Amino acid sequence: MTVLQEGRRQLSEGKRAERRLGWLLCAPAAVVMVAVTGWPIIYSVWLSLQRYDLRFPAEREFIGLSNYAAVLSNGFWWNAFGVTMLITVVSVAVEFVLGFALALVMHRTLVGRGLVRTSALIPYGIVTVVAAFSWRYAWTPGTGYLANLVTPDGAPLTERASALGIIIVAEIWKTTPFMALLLMAGLALVPEDLLKAAAVDGAGAWQRFRSVMLPVMKPAILVALLFRTLDAFRIFDNIFVLTAGANETSSVSMLTYNNLIKGLNLGIGSTLSVLIFIAVAIIAFIFVRLFGTAAPGSAEEGRR
Amino acid sequence: MGAGFGEATPARRWRWGLLDLAVIAFALIPVLWIASLSFKTTATLTDGRLIPAEWTLENYQSIFDTSQFTRALVNSIGIALISTAIAVVLGMLAAYAVARLDFPGKRALIGVSLLIAMFPQVSLVSPLFDIERRLGLFDTWPGLILPYITFALPLAIYTQSAFFRQIPWDLEKAAKMDGATQAQAFRRVIAPLAAPGVVTTAILVFIFAWNDFLFAVTLTSTERSRTAPVALSFFTGDSQFEDPTGSISAAAVVITIPIIIFVLLFQRRIVSGLTSGAVKG
């Protein structure tokens, strides 16, 4: 009896110690993450309600929602928003198809698997600015093989439609391997026996893909699409190098940068910050709603 | 797909070989192109050939002549290394707790890191600019290291906790039975076993910090803390008649070298790190 009570008290003490250690170990990471993102985003809500131009600091005052009215009634914002959405939707859609193909090659190839995987990691790892310069020179008349090949007498980076196309190509090239790796993680979960059984039962490649692979891979696909969509929405480096936002090719990130560095207008800049934050939150929400609750992290609890 | 479960007939090998070749060409041509530009002389820069007609190292000499690029390179290396070290250590502590311990608030931590992974970084640019200006962090190393740690932490926590779950924890119990505390068991028994996961995480975090452009271009203003990607994007020719294409290409190749080395040495680790974090996160 006394031994049992003793044991129980030790258990609960152990439990409490475990708790304390858990909090202690997580605290530094949690504090840094919240301090560097939570505080500035709250601060930017506060700034967005003010007239605050660093060139005229004396005129700083509280103006309510006027900044939001100014941004939302401005053509630049809607143009940048449209450009960002276009780039996001097109590049993620193409990447999904290419990434799936690449994942299949990396997963199933009979020869040179290591070589293929190593090469595919190069676009993932390379500095985006470097890749963007390669594409810029490729499409600049004179220095570029692609410009000389495809449009011998045009300057594709100086026209809106072709410039947007090139930005999308650069984005797809850089991030398809990442998409492919996330999808490959899902592919590895597809039981080989099931595929074989389906093949024996006479299911064609498309049917095997639709009824065997897709259901198993759904969580991996959701993660890949969600992460890439939100990542594509913040596109900046490629546009900065390829067009610098000329000819109405600015994304919302590019617009924010120009406003901050060239305009030094913190009130408007913070308004843009808050609007982008809301847009991203809405996209993430729609994703989780559309694809069910299989959001990353939701399975975390059951696993332990 | 159809070739998935047949045996490796020569025809199948050829088909896969061709597909492999397509992937390799797709991945490498843009890289080879900028490398080729970096070795071309000013006169042959516009000849459109993939293999330079005249080879030169002039472009490399010119970027290492001034402090503009060398200083940026030092900044890049220092900032990326420090960010990696701190993010990996903080992430390791949290990942151990997530993988091993039971405590209230665990879900919240996972939720927060997930939110940060999806956070639009550009939303921080304007407020951080103002906050760092006030705190004196603007245009300093810590001013960049802080956001890098923050955005690397979700990756560091997910990847490491995925690796930690695969460790045979009975060893830890055995160590504790031998009288070690939980902290000692972690340090002496588990940490060596966890090393591969930690190395993988470090590589991924380093690549992220090395790659960043958005924070680097908005939170710096001088050579003091400007990183290499930003410096090279601001290159201009020595005179207004000179085109910076050659120097930019050379600088681009230089900052690609560490990435190539990582990829060549650690291909397996990078692949397993990215895929484990994705499925288990």
List, for residues A234-286, the tens digit of each pLDDT value: 899 999 999 888 888 899 999 999 988 888 888 999 999 999 999 999 998 88
pLDDT per residue, tens digit, chain B (281 aa), is: 444 455 678 888 888 889 899 999 999 999 998 998 899 888 788 777 778 888 888 889 888 988 889 999 999 999 999 999 999 999 999 998 998 888 888 888 988 888 888 888 888 988 999 899 999 999 999 999 999 999 999 999 998 988 888 888 888 788 888 888 888 887 888 778 888 889 999 999 999 999 999 999 999 999 899 999 999 888 876 655 567 888 899 999 999 999 999 999 999 888 888 887 554 43
Residues B22, B78: one domain? Answer: no
What pLDDT shows up at residue A189?
86
Instruction: Tell me if B56 sits within 8 A of B39, measured CB to CB.
Output: yes
Q: Is residue B202 part of a domain?
A: yes
Does a structural domain hold residue B53?
no
* B261/chain A closest Cα distance in angstroms: 10
Question: Do residue B124 and residue A37 have CB atoms under 8 angstroms apart?
Answer: yes
Residues B130, B28 within the same domain: no
Interface test with A, best of B77, B125, B148 (most A CBs within 10 A): B125
ipTM, 2 dp: 0.88
Distance from CA of A1 to the nearest CA of B (A): 24
Contacts of A119 in chain B (CB under 8 A): 23-24, 27-28
Same domain, B125 and B15: no
B101 within some domain:
yes
Which pLDDT score is estimated for A303?
35
Answer yes or no: do B71 and B40 share one domain.
no
Residues B131 and B181 occupy one common structural domain: yes
Question: In this predicted structure, what is the pLDDT of residue A298?
Answer: 42
Q: Are residues B219 and B163 in the same domain?
A: yes
CA gap A122, A108 in Å, rounded? 20
- Do B194 and B269 sit in the same domain of this protein? yes
A55-80 tens-digit pLDDT: 888 878 888 888 999 889 988 899 99
Count of domains forming chain B: 2
Residue B4's pLDDT is 47
Q: Same domain, yes or no, for B226 and B186?
A: yes
Q: Give pLDDT tens digits for A93-130.
A: 999 999 999 999 998 888 888 899 999 999 999 999 99
Q: Which of A47, A129, A207, A225 to mutate to test the interface with B (most CBs of B within 10 A)?
A: A129
Give the pLDDT confidence of A198-232 residue by residue, as tens digits.
888 888 888 888 888 888 888 888 888 988 999 99
The beta-carbon neighbor of B103 closest among A18, A33, A266 is A18
Residues of A in contact with B226 (CB under 8 A): none
For residues B69 and B10, state if they share a domain: no
- Asked if the A79-262 domain carries CATH number 3.40.50.880, the reply is no
DSSP one-letter string for B12-80: HHHHHHHHHHHHHHHHHHHHHHHHHHHTB-GGGTTS--SS-SSB--HHHHHHHHSHHHHHHHHHHHHHH
Angstroms from B243 CA to nearest CA on chain A: 11
List CB contacts of B141: < 8 A, sequence separation 6 or more: B75, B78, B79, B82, B225
Q: Which segment, A27-31, A137-141, A150-154, is predicted with the most confidence on average?
A: A27-31
Percent of chain A as helix, strand, coil, to the nearest 5: 80, 0, 20
Distance CA B180, CA B172 (A): 9
* Chain A nearest-CA residue for B216: A237
Alpha carbon A209 to its chain's center: 26
Residue A127 confidence (pLDDT): 94
Q: Say yes or no: B38 and B72 in one domain.
A: no
Per the structure, the complete domain to which residue B206 belongs is given by 63-280
Residue B54 lies in a domain: no
pTM for the full predicted model: 0.89
Q: What is the pLDDT of residue A295?
A: 46
Residues of A in contact with B110 (CB under 8 A): 297, 300
Rg (CA), chain B: 23
Specify the long-range contacts of residues A277-286, CB closer than 8 Å, at least 24 apart.
A277/A41, A277/B119, A277/B120, A277/B123, A279/A81, A279/A233, A279/A252, A279/B120, A280/A230, A280/A233, A280/A234, A280/B118, A280/B119, A280/B120, A280/B123, A283/A229, A283/A230, A283/A233, A284/A226, A284/A230, A284/B118
The structure tokens 């380093």 sit at B206
| Mean of pLDDT values over A292-297 | 50
In chain A, residues with a C-beta closer than 8 Å to the C-beta of B37 are 137, 143
In a domain, B57, yes or no: no
Q: Is the domain of B39 the same as that of B79?
A: no
Is residue B259 assigned to a domain?
A: yes
Amino acid of residue B137: L
**Chain A residues 137-166 with a CB less than 8 Å from chain B:** 137-138, 142-145, 148
Domain coordinates in residue numbering, chain A: 37-73+265-304, 79-262
What is the pLDDT at residue A264?
A: 87
**Does B151 share its domain with B261?**
yes
Whether the Cβ atoms of residue B137 and residue B146 lie closer than 8 Å to each other: yes
Residue B113 placed within a domain: yes
